[in-house]
Amino acid sequence: MSNLKINMNNFEDVLKSLESQTLRVCVIGIGRIGLPTALSFAKSGLETIGVDINKNLVDDINSGKFPLKDEPGYDEIFDTVIKNKKFSATTSIEDGVPNSNLILLSLPTPMDENNVPDYSALKTVASQLSDILSPNSLVIVESTIEPGFIEDEMVPIISRSGRLNAEKNFFIGVCPENANPGEILHDFTNLPRLVGGINSDISKTIKSIYNFVFSVELVEMPNCKTANAVKLTTNVFRDINIAFISELSLMFEKLGIDTNKVLEAARKKYNFQVHYPGAGVGGPCLPINSYQLLNTAKRIGSTLSIIESGRKINEKMPEHVVQLTSNAFKEYQKPIQGSNILILGISYKPNVKDIQLTPAEEIIKKLQNLGAIIHIYDPYFKSTTTFGIRIEDNVESIISNIDAAIIVTAHDEFKTMDISFFSRMRTPILIDTRGIIDPFSAKEKKLIFRGLGRGK
Ligand SMILES: NC(=O)c1ccc[n+]([C@@H]2O[C@H](COP(=O)([O-])OP(=O)(O)OC[C@H]3O[C@@H](n4cnc5c(N)ncnc54)[C@H](O)[C@@H]3O)[C@@H](O)[C@H]2O)c1
């Protein structure tokens, strides 16, 4: 069977094309999620092409350089599928789409400076598909989108040129991605995935395709919008619960209660699901996903007051970190103005190289506004300049000039640091926003210590 004869609406055709490995796959957007996805499809034996507007990324991939160094396991898969020519990349969508049967979209869905979700990448690509998608192809959107986006936006745009008619000669569905950066291979091989199609036949087809590539449970949803609603619900659940614990931790701090101790004990109860307070919630998912649901509510005249309050709390946490810092400086009777402050960790979460919407940025800006001189050390960002600051390669060489250190990200490297390291600072102020320092050992070392949510 030639690949362009495969009718993606014909279940038998699709199964045969999987077995004979003639089904051709195009992944548009080969970033953090799209690249591992494309590599997984290629590893299963299906010829896969990745399309991306980032020329440097495409050049790196085609010259054999694996760009996601913090994704364990994928470097080997990358080497294999590049060598056996199952995977290549291109900047030209025309090189990828017309010869493919299955088009996966892993495009970014960020938000603008007013927290309004921005679906321009998906809309641009949908309009390109309208002109170049081969009849009888299947489009699967893996990006995180609002419920209704497939039906109300993608289908009308792809149908716009008049060549393509949904459910007649093109098919569409979703398989929202839910992997965690830094653990993508683990998550792709363990976490259940949601599938939803424009009709139930397409859902079944999508399920069989993903079954071929990933040996995980595939949860078939009644339609696309329900699948996307589940994806957003699970992430927003986390955003709200982090806000709940963060707000509680602010009160516990005043009461002299250690939130760590509260959570350690609370999690012993079978129906308590632990979340941790911190410097704020960043990343490409949680904050945006909350605003996506708020956008949906606004669009249809509903209210989601808990999500709104949760966002306000999470967005206030960087300011609290600055207050803790100011307070510690006051205790030492030293002005922040002109002091050297070391930020430990700028990633929005531990052990990944990713600063999207990281709370570190706001903390840094606020401290700079108070006149502090900021230094950054982050093992994932060596030899680069970020937020206009040259990142330190070696924290050892600067520690004696530092007046305060603030742990913003709980990277493993910081968890294993000996507390005496901080005694070598010029001024012994240590702020821990992630609950990784034992307040008693900080006290023993005579550090001026502030732990977020730990009580004084
Ligand atoms: N990163 C995560 O933790 C994560 C987890 C689950 C779901 N998601 C969702 O997956 C989707 C992709 O996220 P990501 O983190 O992989 O984003 P990313 O920014 O790492 O990758 C997106 C890629 O798309 C490319 N791109 C942008 N516009 C394009 C266009 N018009 N044509 C071709 N390529 C284009 C970019 O150059 C980039 O390489 C988003 O919807 C996100 O919400 C992300």
Given the CA of residue 288, which atom of ligand 1 is nearest to it?
Answer: 43
User: Within 214-343, where are the H helices?
Assistant: 224-255, 259-266, 286-300, 305-332
- Residue 450 pairs with which residues in a beta bridge? 431
Cα 314 to ligand 1 centroid, rounded to whole Å: 24
DSSP-derived letter for residue 150 is I
What is the mean pLDDT of each successive set of 10 residues along the chain, which is 456 residues long?
78 96 98 97 98 98 94 95 97 97 97 97 98 97 98 98 96 95 94 97 97 96 98 98 98 97 98 98 96 97 98 98 98 97 97 95 98 97 95 95 98 96 97 97 96 90
Question: How many whole angstroms separate alpha carbon 162 and alpha carbon 158?
Answer: 9
Both tokens of residue 114? 């007013």
Question: How many whole angstroms separate alpha carbon 390 and alpha carbon 385?
Answer: 4
Question: How many whole angstroms separate alpha carbon 387 and alpha carbon 71?
Answer: 24
210: Cβ–Cβ under 8 A, 6 or more apart, which residues? 175, 193, 195, 218
Tell me how far the alpha carbon of residue 377 is from its chain's centroid.
22
Is ligand 1 within 6 A of the CB of residue 285? yes
What is the structure's pLDDT at 3?
60
What is the structure's pLDDT at 22?
97
Is ligand 1 within 6 A of the CB of residue 96? no
Pairing of strands 429-432, 404-407: parallel
Nearest CA to ligand 1 atom 31: 121
User: Within 333-419, where are the H helices?
Assistant: 359-369, 412-415
Given the CA of residue 29, which atom of ligand 1 is nearest to it?
Answer: 24
What is the structure's pLDDT at 182?
87
| Sheet architecture: strand order including 373-377 | 373-377, 340-344, 404-407, 429-432, 448-451
Contact 375, 403 (CB under 8 A): no
CB count, 10 Å around CB of 208?
A: 15
152: Cβ–Cβ under 8 A, 6 or more apart, which residues? none
Pairing of strands 102-105, 87-90: unpaired
Is ligand 1 within 6 A of the CB of residue 134? no
pTM to 2 decimals? Answer: 0.94
Q: List Cα–Cα distances, 311 to 108, 219, 279, 302, in angstroms.
A: 21, 29, 13, 17
Q: List Cα–Cα distances, 199 to 24, 27, 164, 202, 390, in angstroms.
A: 22, 22, 17, 5, 52
End-to-end CA distance of the chain: 71
Both tokens of residue 321? 């970190």
177: Cβ–Cβ under 8 A, 6 or more apart, which residues? 33, 37, 106, 142, 143, 144
Pairing of strands 170-174, 193-197: antiparallel
What is the structure's pLDDT at 70?
85
Cα 105 to ligand 1 centroid, rounded to whole Å: 9
What is the structure's pLDDT at 4?
63
Is ligand 1 within 6 A of the CB of residue 451? no
Question: How many whole angstroms separate alpha carbon 371 and alpha carbon 381?
Answer: 24
Is ligand 1 within 6 A of the CB of residue 58? no
Both tokens of residue 28? 């548009």
Cα 369 to ligand 1 centroid, rounded to whole Å: 33
CB count, 10 Å around CB of 241?
A: 15
Is ligand 1 within 6 A of the CB of residue 128? no
Beta strands in 95-208 (DSSP E): 102-105, 137-141, 170-174, 193-197
What is the structure's pLDDT at 181?
87
Contact 324, 452 (CB under 8 A): yes
Given the CA of residue 54, which atom of ligand 1 is nearest to it?
Answer: 37
What is the structure's pLDDT at 85?
95
Nearest CA to ligand 1 atom 25: 29
Would residue 338 be called left, alpha or beta, if left means φ above 0 and alpha means ψ between -120 and 50 degrees?
left
What is the structure's pLDDT at 455?
82
Nearest CA to ligand 1 atom 33: 52
Average model confidence (pLDDT) across the chain: 96
Question: How many whole angstroms separate alpha carbon 52 and alpha carbon 30?
Answer: 6
Nearest CA to ligand 1 atom 9: 143
